[in-house]
């Protein structure tokens, strides 16, 4: 008897921009694929950063994107298996996004069951994958709420800087609201992932300690941190993951270790 698997869905979320959400989504996803897992990445940001950084440089020209699928869910139209899914050379699948998603976010406001549209889109895919990773938009709007409603866990990348730690409070309040309003009472917080760290400076070490002290008692803060790297920033323009672009780097090693030891 074949037990039908059900993907673990992880929302990679922080309403602040520039915390490494897209880089984490792409490289953790490809890291998991390298471990033999079937992985679907979902770009839920109208800016299409994940789509672009994975090599689809003109997301506005793609025939089917996440907004196409969410529109179908809103209109109760069936979504065909594999519809809107792109295959990446490094062994992961992607549901891309483009600017149409911004218009859809506005339309969602008046939709019945508006928090659950993404969940509806992904329900069919859950049996096909081990992991579904959602790259969230840098806001706490309707698209992020949809991602939190569809997720089993939330992974929070935080740039190792004082101000980004302050933004965490708002995000944690939003996650509480998702519980309280029964949008997704089972949502767990996977942990805080410190990104763009610089352990060589005292300031870098202080921030690391500060975040661990402030949140470590309530939320897991991953031991593994993602170091700052110019090469990692260049990968998005190259349309490749860090594993293809700079496989011997500390960043590649960090993401591989994150995938290996936590999933």
- Residues near 222 by Cβ (< 8 Å), separated by ≥ 6? 191, 192, 193, 194, 258, 262
CA 45 – CA 35 distance, rounded (Å): 27
DSSP 93: E
- pLDDT of 2 > 60? The answer is no
pLDDT at 237: 78
Range with the poorest average pLDDT among 39-48, 192-201, 227-236? 227-236
Tokens of 256: 């591989």
Please name every residue paired with 95 in a beta bridge, in sequence order, or none if there are none.
42
Which tens digits make up the pLDDT trace of 29-56?
A: 999 999 999 999 999 999 999 999 999 9
CA 228 – CA 230 distance, rounded (Å): 7
CA 73 – CA 231 distance, rounded (Å): 39
Which sequence spans correspond to the domains of the chain?
A: 8-262
Which tens digits make up the pLDDT trace of 106-120?
A: 999 888 889 999 999
User: If we measure between CA atoms, which residue out of 10, 39, 45, 36 comes closest to residue 236?
Assistant: 45
CA 178 – CA 173 distance, rounded (Å): 9
Collapsing DSSP states into helix, strand and coil, what is residue 72? helix
CA 153 to chain centre: 11
Confidence of residue 162 (pLDDT cuts 50, 70, 90): low
Please compute Rg for the chain using Cα positions. Answer: 18
Which tens digits make up the pLDDT trace of 60-80?
A: 999 999 999 999 999 999 999
Question: How much of the chain, in percent, has pLDDT values that exceed 90?
Answer: 75
- Residues near 194 by Cβ (< 8 Å), separated by ≥ 6? 158, 159, 160, 208, 211, 221, 222, 225, 226
CA 30 – CA 39 distance, rounded (Å): 8
pLDDT at 115: 95
- Residues near 166 by Cβ (< 8 Å), separated by ≥ 6? none
- Count the Cβ atoms, other than its own, within 10 Å of residue 99: 13
The pTM for the full model equals: 0.95
- pLDDT of 4 > 60? The answer is no
Q: Which fold has domain 8-262?
A: Rossmann fold (3.40.50)
- pLDDT of 123 > 80? The answer is yes
As a whole number, mean pLDDT of residues 173-195 equals 94
- Residues near 35 by Cβ (< 8 Å), separated by ≥ 6? 259, 260, 263
- pLDDT of 161 > 80? The answer is no
Task: Find the helix or strand (DSSP H, E) in which 236 lies.
Answer: helix 230-238
Collapsing DSSP states into helix, strand and coil, what is residue 40? strand
As a whole number, mean pLDDT of residues 230-253 equals 88
Task: Find the helix or strand (DSSP H, E) in which 70 lies.
Answer: helix 66-74
């Amino acid at each position: 008897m074949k037990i039908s698997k059900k993907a673990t869905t992880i929302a990679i979320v922080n309403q602040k921009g520039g915390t490494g959400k897209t880089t984490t989504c792409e490289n953790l996803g490809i890291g998991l694929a390298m471990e033999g897992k079937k992985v679907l990445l979902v770009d839920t940001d109208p800016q299409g950063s994940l789509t672009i950084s994975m090599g689809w440089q003109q997301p506005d020209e793609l025939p089917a994107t996440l907004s196409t699928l969410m529109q179908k869910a809103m209109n109760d139209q069936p979504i065909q298996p594999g519809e809107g899914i792109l295959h990446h050379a490094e062994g992961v699948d992607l549901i891309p996004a483009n600017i149409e998603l911004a218009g859809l976010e506005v339309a969602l406001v008046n939709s019945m069951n508006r928090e659950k549209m993404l969940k509806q889109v992904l329900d069919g895919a859950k049996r096909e994958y081990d992991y579904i990773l959602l790259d969230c938009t840098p806001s706490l709007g309707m698209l992020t709420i949809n991602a939190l409603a569809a997720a089993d866990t939330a992974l929070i990348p935080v740039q190792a800087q004082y101000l980004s730690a302050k933004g965490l409070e708002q995000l944690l309040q939003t996650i509480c609201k998702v519980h309280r309003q029964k949008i997704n009472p089972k949502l767990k917080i996977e942990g805080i992932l410190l990104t763009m760290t610089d352990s060589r400076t005292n300031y870098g070490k202080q921030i690391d300690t500060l975040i661990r002290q402030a949140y470590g008692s309530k939320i897991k803060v991953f031991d593994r941190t993602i170091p700052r790297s110019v090469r990692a920033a260049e990968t998005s323009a190259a349309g490749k993951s860090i594993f293809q672009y700079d496989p011997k780097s500390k960043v590649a090693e960090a993401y591989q270790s994150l995938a290996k030891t936590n999933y």
